[in-house]
Structure 1
Amino acid sequence: MRGAGGRLRGTGGGEGWRQDTPRRLRYAFYVHPFRRDHAPRPSRRWLLAVPFALIAAVTVVDVLVPPEVHLGPFLIAAPAVTASFAGPRTTALVGAVAVVAQTVVALARTSVTDLNHTYQIVALVLISVIATFFAHLRERDEKRMARLRSIAHAAQSVVLPPLPERAGPLRIASVYLAAEEEAQVGGDLFAAARTASGTRLLIGDARGKGLDAISEASLVLGAFRVTARREPGLRELVGRLEAGVGPAERARGAAADGVDEAFVTALVLDVPDHEPVVRLVNCGHPPPLLIGRGRVTPLEGTGTGPPLGLSDVLAADVTVETFPFAAGDVLLLHTDGVTEARDRSRAFYPLTERLAAWAAAAAQDDPAALLERLRADLLTYAGGRLGDDAALVAVRRATAGTGRPVPPPAPSG
């Protein structure tokens, strides 16, 4: 049924944990990656024209101007500029050409043994050597960063593989947007698993950043993959997730900073194949958005519980909410890296308003097209860089005759 403000209320009971809980824990603190398109860098060979043109111009002008005018020191800029984009060999070559040019100027004007030209040549040689050394360091760091990106990509494919495009009557698309340019995987997570009667979905956000967040996300994903098909109901599934995650999270949090605050927000959903509903358990996560009938509705129930890992701290019963999810409707699951993205004026990204403007088109688009539009708009809004990792999952229930049932595959994450 529908509550105030146009928000759908679930059929689950209980006032829920969220009512009296601070926002910090309610939504916690919350890269594939559509975040970065890791395309090869455009060729920089054309940039070599800049130092060589500079050398030629300085040489010609220095020979033609009166003797009291000395332009030779400007040749230092050639190897210095080259070191910013080229390798050590190219930088050394440009430096050598600059030294030859300085020698030509000296011979044309006086002599190489003239102290003024001698000092200029010596200084140019020293600067060229230093620039070549820094070009070597930069190239070494770039190769190291490329290896790290390759490792991150491999880790992502293992920890967070793409969701299946089809699961029974559902069409699914996922996006991972990394806040850090060097990383492709972090604490945000999603997974899907087929059961005998439908599809179960998980989206979550592990507290913290870096390796700790990746470790926590892997723990939740592993527990979900093991238990998603075994447990008969969402209440039991969430209980298994808490049992597997809670002790490890508390131990890690206490060991890290002495404060028992390690937790993972999560949203666990069950979408039956033959019922036009979605059942969900919200563990301190932003509510999903239902796009259908030309409007966008947050699925906020009355029984939002604490994040995984905090059930002992904030005791609450697990409440299963039920919402309508008809053929043609789209569910958008997201982490708060989306809604907390800011523009230059520090205003938050208006996700619901953006989706409302696209509601009519979203009903016709496939989930991948919707997420691509949302990804592009989000990055444009945030100036191309997010302050936090963000994950998005779009699920569309196919209309009659648009999809064919598939046998339950192994859980995918």
Structure 2
Amino acid sequence: MPVANRPPPRPAAPPGVRAPRWVAWLPVLLLLVDIVAEAAFPDAVAAGFLLTPIPVVVAFSYGPRAALLSTAGVIGLQIALAARAGHLDEQHHIWIYVATLLSGAMGTALAWQRIRQERSLVRARTVAETLQRAVLRPVPERAGDLRVAALYRAAHADAGVGGDLYALCDTRFGVRLLLGDVRGKGLEAVRTVAEVLGAFRAAAHDTSCLAELAEQLDRTVMREAIDRGDEELFVTAVLLEYTAGSGRVDVINRGHLAPLVLSGTAVATVSCPDELPLGLGHLAAPAEPAATTGVPLPPGHTLLVHTDGVSEARDASGTFYPLAGRLGSLGTSAPDLVVAFLDRDVAAYAGRLHDDLAVLALSPSPG
């Protein structure tokens, strides 16, 4: 789900369900080949023998009605060709008619099942897209005087939501953002994503201290781990807070990849304490609030946070995606352009994604 507020397009039939376009022309090809063979070898070719599979071939591209009509048309043509040769009631021709009739029955059933499957997959994709929009709400292009852009790609495209997460809340304390990565995959990871995002959206508006907000999320993940009986459950996360006109963003890093600051062709890594991931805070001794790091962020600079789906994307040789080098050669730090570039470039570099991918980029508006 790249940046922008646009609603998702109306779901179409999933790729790979419909047959390739050339399959739609196979019935015509079989018809032409049969007619040519009939004309070229009238004494050696059983009239209409190549027409028998046409209803089944039609079923791959068209509906049950087309399969029925093609069955009737094929049998009619076979009878006409046999009558022309004077073989209308010969036994082998009668068996051709029967075979065509069976082919038509199978083609009609196949077409009906294919359409039913397409509709079922479209419904499943619609549910996945609705879930994605409910859990991972679109990030606005502007929040206060911040320009914001976001990117999300689940490793399994049909799932819509994976184990990565992000959220933005424009609160009375400032604009607060969260980006994280849940340990594990599958439906359990999606459940944790929903729990963490729900807790963040509820607490971000009522908790004045960013460190306390991080502690609340830590307790949320710990409760989720207890409910699931998973002692190894944790979420690496970065929490950000920006107050309009401050020229800085406060950062708390809970075991996640360090943010980057982009300015033109310069890319710098933010140095901040690396706390334990959410859900493991109780292991720290002594237990203290998470350290908050203030990062200068004047207009023209962009803060970028991302999950390891970006930095650990690999090409065919197994080489990791050179994030800093690619961003440094981009020549711009505009959040929307940076995110759009990563959307294209990571896919071109690594091909098929093997891990979820999430990116947030924010920059103060000039003036």
Aligned pair partner of 1:265 in 236, 253, 256: 236
Aligned pair partner of 1:306 in 269, 276, 285: 276
Please state if 1:184 is matched with 2:160: yes
1:150 corresponds to: 126
- Shift of the 93–209 alpha-carbon distance from structure 1 to 2, 3 Å rule, reads farther
If the length of structure 2 is used for normalisation, what is the TM-score?
Answer: 0.87
Cα distance in 1 between the residues matched to 2:73 and 2:342? 51
Task: Check the 8 A contact 1:205/1:266 in 2, yes or no.
Answer: yes
**What's the C-alpha RMSD, in Å, of the aligned pairs?**
2.8
Where in structure 1 are there 5+ consecutive unaligned residues? 1-30, 401-413
Please state if 1:398 is matched with 2:365: yes
- Shift of the 381–93 alpha-carbon distance from structure 1 to 2, 3 Å rule, reads farther
Instruction: Answer 1 or 2: higher relative contact order, Cα 8 Å, separation at least 6.
Output: 1
Q: What does the per-residue CA deviation read over 1:338-385, in whole Å, with 9 as the maximum and x for residues that have no partner?
A: 223333344333222221110x2x23x4x22332222122222333x3
Task: Check the 8 A contact 2:23/2:57 in 1, yes or no.
Answer: no
Q: Report how many residues are paired.
A: 358
C-alpha displacement at 1:228, in angstroms?
1.4
Query: Which deviates more from structure 2 when the two are superposed, residues 283-292 or residues 177-186?
Result: 177-186
- Shift of the 354–45 alpha-carbon distance from structure 1 to 2, 3 Å rule, reads closer
2:139 corresponds to: 163
Cα distance in 2 between the residues matched to 1:105 and 1:202? 72
2:350 corresponds to: 382
Cα distance in 1 between the residues matched to 2:175 and 2:165? 17
Task: Check the 8 A contact 1:271/1:278 in 2, yes or no.
Answer: yes
C-alpha displacement at 1:267, in angstroms?
0.8
Where in structure 2 are there 5+ consecutive unaligned residues? none
2:188 corresponds to: 212
1:330 corresponds to: 302
2:263 corresponds to: 292
Alignment of 1:12-161 (within 5 A): 40=12, 48-70=24-46, 72-161=48-137
SS in 2 for 1:281: strand
Cα distance in 1 between the residues matched to 2:217 and 2:21? 54
Identical amino acids, percent of aligned pairs: 37
Cα distance in 2 between the residues matched to 1:331 and 1:37? 30
- Shift of the 37–74 alpha-carbon distance from structure 1 to 2, 3 Å rule, reads farther
1:279 corresponds to: 250
Cα distance in 2 between the residues matched to 1:340 and 1:116? 64
Cα distance in 2 between the residues matched to 1:206 and 1:60? 63
C-alpha displacement at 1:125, in angstroms?
2.1
If the length of structure 1 is used for normalisation, what is the TM-score?
Answer: 0.78
Task: Check the 8 A contact 1:52/1:94 in 2, yes or no.
Answer: no
Cα distance in 1 between the residues matched to 2:80 and 2:320? 61
> What is the letter of the counterpart of residue 282 of structure 2?
D
